[in-house]
Every structure is written in structure tokens, then in C-alpha cells.
Amino acid sequence: MSHPVRTQWIDIAPGFAGYLALPPSGQGPGLVLFQEIFGVNEHIRGVAEQYALAGFVVLAPDVFWREAPKVQLGYEGDDWNRAIALMKAYKTEDALSDIAKTVSVLRGRQEVGANKVGTIGYCMGGRLAYQAAATTDIRAAVPYYGGGIHLQLERVAKIHCPMQFHYASDDANIPMDAVEQVRQAFAGKSAEVHVYPNSHHGFNCWARGTYDARSAALAHGRSLQFLTQHLFE
């Protein structure tokens, strides 16, 4: 029996590729999946297939394509150091260009057609999902522990789609005062802010030492409900 999710790498722009995962039906709402700093690795591909099984057409862009095309990194040692270096070298203007191109290409796929498009992202990808909400016409965005969002709150005024934020209570990279700044900035808007007790940065990634199954399952359920509400016709 063949796997119900079909996957392939596709071209987004010359030299710029993305991992596409199609749902069993072959069509559905579009979901741009933004990677962590570790590339479109096994975990991100697994998440793409997870959401494709739920009915979404998922495209995970390889945003480090300029420096390290299709790089796949682990979470410790030299891989960790390289991931940090790649993140620091990734310029905001390049990120915004990659976001716009990816959203456009996914929206133009025949498998998406007239369906809506949203985004989800983890770690650095959470920040990219937030930026996508502020700079494109996506219909919903779900950032997971997106670092630095509280430093870009001037973008909030340009966000008109529903947002759902997921944070860890004990995140060494994102203190609770930063989460509170995000919460206050979105007061009065269509936005949810969820904080998971006794969890750490990266709690959704089953390949990391900070993985927390309970928090990941709860966040995934909330994300599915939110995305289904706002992206399915």
C-alpha cells in the first residue's frame, strides 16, 4: 500500500527549492511551513507530512538556499554552531523576499486553486510566519516560539489575519515579559496566545531533548482546529 501523502522537492525560484507534501485527496488549503534554524530536516519534513495528512497542501521553503542549499542539521555540537551562523547570516530583506515568493508559488499551485493559504513556523520559522502575516495576504498564521517577534511589534498594525501564538513557559530564549509584550500588542485583535507550563524552547520537536509530548499534542490540536477554522472553505 502506497503512502497517502505524496512528497517532492519543487522549485520556488532559480536555486530556491521547497519541500511539498500533498494530502491524500491531492488538494486542499495551502500551508507554508517555515523551518527552524536546522534546515528542512527530518523533523520539518515530518511536520509537513503531518499537516498534509490533515488535508493541507504544505510547502516548506529551504530558506538557507543562498548559503547552504537543502542543508539538514542536528541539534548539538558543530551542527548547532552552523545553524546559529546560518541564522545570523540570513538577512531580513532576503527573508521577506523568500516569504513572498513562497506564498505566491503555493497559491498558484493547482492543488490549492481557490483555497485559502496560511502559514505555520517553528523557532526562526515562527518569526517568519509572523512576518508573512504582516507582509502578505495570508489568511491565518501560527508561530511556535518565534524568537524576536517582540522586537518587531511595529508590524502588528499591518496584520489583518487571525494569529495563534505558542510559547514555552521556561524558554531560555524567549522570556515571559517578551510573551506579554506580544499579548498586549495583539489586544483587541483576532489573536490567541498559548503558554505551555513546564515546557522549553523546541517542545514540539520530537528529535530534541526539550521535546514535551503533552505540550506538543495540545499545541498541535489547537493549531489544527485554528487552521481548519480559518483556511477550509
Catalytic residue positions, numbered:
171, 201
d(CA 194, CA 179): 10
> CA 87 to CA 126: how far, in whole Å?
13
How many angstroms separate the most distant Cα atoms in the chain? 50
Neighbours of 77 (CB within 10 A): 9
User: Is there a contact between 41 and 48 (Cβ–Cβ < 8 Å)?
Assistant: no
Tell me the three cell numbers of residue 78. Answer: 558543530
Cell 507550563 sits at which residue? 197
Alpha carbons within 13 angstroms on the beta-carbon side of residue 77 total 3
CA-closest candidate to residue 44, choices 65, 63, 25: 63
Residue whose C-alpha is closest to residue 56's, from 48, 65, 64: 48
Residue among 11, 15, 97 at smallest CA distance from 59: 11
Residue with grid cell 517568519, as numbered in its chain: 128
